[in-house]
Every structure is written in structure tokens, then in C-alpha cells.
Amino acid sequence: MRREAGMSIALVVTCVALFISNPDFAGQSNAVNLLRQISMLGIFAIGIAFVIIAGGIDLSIGSTIGLTGVLIAKFSAETAGGLGWSLWVGIPIALAAALLVGLAQGLLITRLGLQPFIVTLGGMLLVRGLSQTIVEGGTLSLGGSPLLGIASGGFLEIGGEPLIPYPLLIFAGVIAIATYVLHFTVYGRYVYAIGGNRDAAAYSGIAVRRVEASTYVISAGLAGVAGVCYAAYISQMSQQVGVAYEMYAIAAAVLGGCSLRGGEGTVLGVVIGSAMMRVIDNGINMFQLPYTDGDGIRRIWRLDPNWTFIIIGGVILAAVILDQAIHLVQARRRVRRAAQ
């Protein structure tokens, strides 16, 4: 838990620094929206954590989020381009499509022995193309669909805005289920065993291919759940929704302690990593530093929004370098103990 504790301290320090810089960071509107963003990222970051812990990678998760939202808009929207069906029909179809994407990729990787990076990269482009074909290069609006209440609604409303948004409740449910499955079941131990040493897991009698394929189904399924939330939040669906989301998810998982080598990571760590990613993203817009120029005029310096990907990319590289450094230190310690 050392890495989780370290990330928790870093998260708290970052939040305090942003609050000192700009008290509006802790304002109700910004705080509630930040909780929504953390929750929606955390949902599919937990999904990709299953894949990473098992030693794989899923680059199609962002496209799956987009496809889920596009299908919901296509089947359920009553505006132009939509079929006007009930949400009770549109949402299950969209979620089933997401699960099918995960199952197809899992089978290609485990049954044909293809590289996860190549399969999910191809899946990312293919699924993105499906979304673009469905919207015909444009957008599909959900109009006044009741689905929008998932993003805007919640509990304990103050000033017309809930303190506990519905995406946070969905996220809490995902955390509870994922924690139980990953940390308190035989299946979870199998996932860690496969990521730690695939050959040893196979020799010990674990159905490696079946378990590994199921992690891609879990990842895609949670991407579908996140896609429902994003559809409610954005309301205007296009093929651009979900672009680069997989990078945020991978970064959140790695920041939270999931090793890209597999076999390491916790749900709690992914939650902390997701919070850190969204706090950084929000902080780029909220951070401000007052100063006095040469003419004695008081001004405010802000971070350039164009630096967003530079900063996030730097955070990802720092996390990967830290992960590598930790493994090198651990390897040296093992060698010293063996020598003694």
C-alpha cells in the first residue's frame, strides 16, 4: 500500500495547492463537476486495470465508449437521425455491443495468439469507424431524453445542483463489485497469477485463455457503462467522443500502481489515479498565480490550456519511469538477499 499512500498524499497536496491558488476550486459547481469527471473516468479505468493486471492492454476502450453513446443516441433519440425507441431497448443494445467488442478481441488474443496491442489498436480504429458510419460523419442529439438526468441529477440538492451526482453512485457500485471480484475471489487471484507469470499459471491448472479473455469483456463492459454516463453528460454524440480516453485510463491505472508488466495493482490505487488525472486536468484551468508587473499593475498568471497534453504526457512518462525504477530497486534487493 506504499504507492497508494504516496499517491494519496500527492493528491491531497495538489488539491490544497489548487485551493490556495484559486478558492473556486472547492466551489460547489466545480467540485460536483469534478466528481462527475472522476467517476466517469474511474469506471472504465477500473475495467482496463483488469486487463493490465492480467498482463494485457486495451487501446479500444475509448472507441467502445463512443460507440455505446452513439448507439444509444441512434436507437433512443427522438430527434433527427434517431429511431425514437425506448431507452430500455437502446441502452441494453449498446451495452451488448460493447460486450461483444470485448469478447471478440479477447478471443482473437487468446485463441489465435495475437498481440493485444495490435488487436486492440485495430479494434480501436474499427469501432471508431462504426461510430462514424452510424452518425454519418455528423452528430446525433439526445434532445430532452430522460437519460440526461443521469449526469445532471443526484442527491442532496443545494442551489439546484446535487452534492452527490448519479455517476458517483454508479462509480461507488463499480468500486465495490470490482474490489470484491479482484481481491476476494479465486478469479481475482487467477488474474494476478496470469499477469505475474503466465506459464506458471497455466502449469498450475488455471484456465489462462478463458480468464484472460474475460478481462477484455470486463474492460469493454465497464467502457459501455461509462459510455452511458458520457452520453448523458455530453448529449451530442459523434465519432469524436472517446478519442484518447484510453490514454487517460492507462495513465490512471499506472499512476494508481498497476504495472504494465502485469501482476500488480489495486482497485483503490486506480480510484486514486483517476482522481489525480482529473484533478490535474481541472487544475490546468483553475490554477492561477497573482503577481505585480513592472508598472505596478496586479495581474493573474494562468496555465496555458494548450499545455494540457504536455502536462498529462509528462505525468504518464513520470509514472512509467517510477514504475521501472521501483522494479529495478526491488530486483536489486532480491539479488542481495539471495547472495546473503
**pLDDT tens across 229-270, in order?**
999 998 888 888 888 899 889 989 988 888 888 888 899 999
333 belongs to a structural domain:
no
188 belongs to a structural domain:
yes
Evaluate whether 247 touches 316 at the Cβ level (below 8 Å). yes
324 belongs to a structural domain:
no
Give the angle 167-61-79 at the CA atoms, nearest 5°: 60
In the numeric block, the cell 463489485 is attached to 177
Strands 140-141 and 154-158 come out as unpaired
In the numeric block, the cell 479465486 is attached to 186
148 belongs to a structural domain:
yes
What percent of the chain has pLDDT above 90? 46
Neighbours of 187 (CB within 10 A): 13
Tell me, what CATH number does 59's domain have? Answer: 1.10.3470
110 belongs to a structural domain:
yes
Evaluate whether 221 touches 285 at the Cβ level (below 8 Å). no
C-alpha to C-alpha distance for 26 and 282, rounded to whole angstroms: 11
Contacts of 228 (CB under 8 A, 6+ apart): 68, 69, 72, 91, 94, 95, 147, 150
254 belongs to a structural domain:
yes
- Residue 48: pLDDT over 80: yes
- Residue 61: pLDDT over 90: yes
C-alpha to C-alpha distance for 71 and 59, rounded to whole angstroms: 20
Look at the alpha carbons of 274, 278, 281, 287 in this order and tell me if their dihedral is positive or negative. negative
Count of structural domains, the chain: 1
Cell triple for 298:
496586479
Domain that holds residue 239: 2-290+299-307
C-alpha to C-alpha distance for 85 and 74, rounded to whole angstroms: 9
Instruction: Give the residues across from 161 on adjacent strands.
Output: 158
When pLDDT is averaged across residues 77-102 and rounded to a whole number, the result is: 87
pLDDT of 190-215, one tens digit each? 999 999 999 999 999 899 999 999 99
pLDDT of 10-28, one tens digit each? 889 989 988 998 888 888 8
230 belongs to a structural domain:
yes
62 belongs to a structural domain:
yes
Select, from the ranges 25-34, 149-158, 284-293, 297-306, the one with the highest average predicted confidence (pLDDT): 25-34
Select, from the ranges 47-56, 132-141, 310-319, the one with the highest average predicted confidence (pLDDT): 47-56
C-alpha to C-alpha distance for 269 and 86, rounded to whole angstroms: 38
Evaluate whether 260 touches 82 at the Cβ level (below 8 Å). no
CA distances from 33 to 28, 36, 37, 49, 180 (A): 8, 5, 6, 24, 28
C-alpha to C-alpha distance for 57 and 117, rounded to whole angstroms: 6
